[in-house]
Copies of this chain bind each other. A is one copy, B any other.
Amino acid sequence: MQRYRCIISYDGSGFSGYQVQPNKRTIQLELEAALAKMHKGDTIKVVGSGRTDAGVHAKGQVIHFDSSLLILENRWEVALNSLLPEDISVLEVKKVSESFHARFDAVGKEYRYVLQLSSKRDPFQRKFAYQYPFRLNVEAMRTASKYFLGTHDFTSFCSAKTEVVDKVRTIEAIDFFMEGNLLTFRFVGNGFLYNMVRILVGTLLEVGSGQRSPSEMQDVLANRDRRLAGKTAPAQGLYLWEVFYN
């Protein structure tokens, strides 16, 4: 048996998220279906670095699987891409030691969130950015974002459905950059809770639009209450950009 690590990219708009669910089209389902075809119908379990929700995209999701097939790394890439649907792409396949684990070994992640700042609906961006037609004060959002840097209990910034008990996470960087009319938020941290990036973005938008002041973020964090944070920003603007390993 050989363990393989793959970097994959997907357009999340046609999927009910990453993880297998009954009667739903998911990333994991398509990956396991492609691997089953290569293994005469045998089930090959795929382990991802984490889930992504329905409509959320990935530029650099990482998965691992085990196989006894003797195939070179670059041929794995070609074979898998030929069996996968067009909205998933395998960017890299590497042999790894059998101790590697895509989820447990991940030491950090980068997510990006893309806003299309325009009053005009753009048919080409509708699945790939969140259209935001109002004025935004990026400097106020930048000031607010500083409160999230470092290690905090992010209970206020995760879905009430979150099952994990330990809600302490470390955010290393939050940046903002404009390209044309697209404003991208970049988040780097050691891990992110369920809906955490989307709730951080939704809350920062309330700061950027003047509904909240940046310094309020301190209280929102301290009170550990999801109801105090802003709305969950829509899925289509979110990208799992990169997963980091040692």
State which of A116-124, A147-155, A157-165 sits at the interface with chain B: A116-124
Min CB distance A9 to B, Å, is: 6
Q: Are A123 and B91 in contact (CB under 8 A)?
A: no
A10 interface residue (CB < 8 Å to B): yes
Query: Among residues 1 to 49 in chain A, which have CB atoms less than 8 Å away from a CB atom of chain B?
Result: 9-11
Q: In the bound complex, do residue B120 and residue A128 qualify as a contact, i.e. CB atoms below 8 Å apart?
A: no
Chain B residues near A126 (CB-CB < 8 A)? 11, 86-87
A243 to B126, CA, bound (A): 24
Complex-state Cα separation, A87 to B86, whole angstroms:
20
**Number of A positions contacting B (CB below 8 A):** 17
Query: A86 contacts B123, CB within 8 Å?
Result: yes
Q: Considering the complex, give the chain B residue whose CB is closest to the CB of A58.
A: B123
From A123, A126, A128, residue with most partner B Cβ within 10 Å: A123
Q: Roughly how many angstroms separate A91 CA and B86 CA in the complex, as a whole number?
A: 30
Contacts of A91 in B (CB 8 A): 120
Chain B residue numbers with a CB within 8 Å of A57 are: 124
**A81 contacts the other chain (CB 8 A):** yes
Who on chain B is nearest to A121 by CB?
B89
Extra contacts besides A9-B122, A86-B123, A87-B123 (17): CB < 8 Å: A9-B123, A9-B124, A10-B123, A11-B123, A11-B124, A11-B126, A57-B124, A81-B121, A86-B121, A86-B126, A87-B126, A88-B123, A89-B120, A89-B121, A89-B123, A91-B120, A124-B128
3 A-B pairs with least C-beta separation: A11-B123, A89-B121, A87-B123
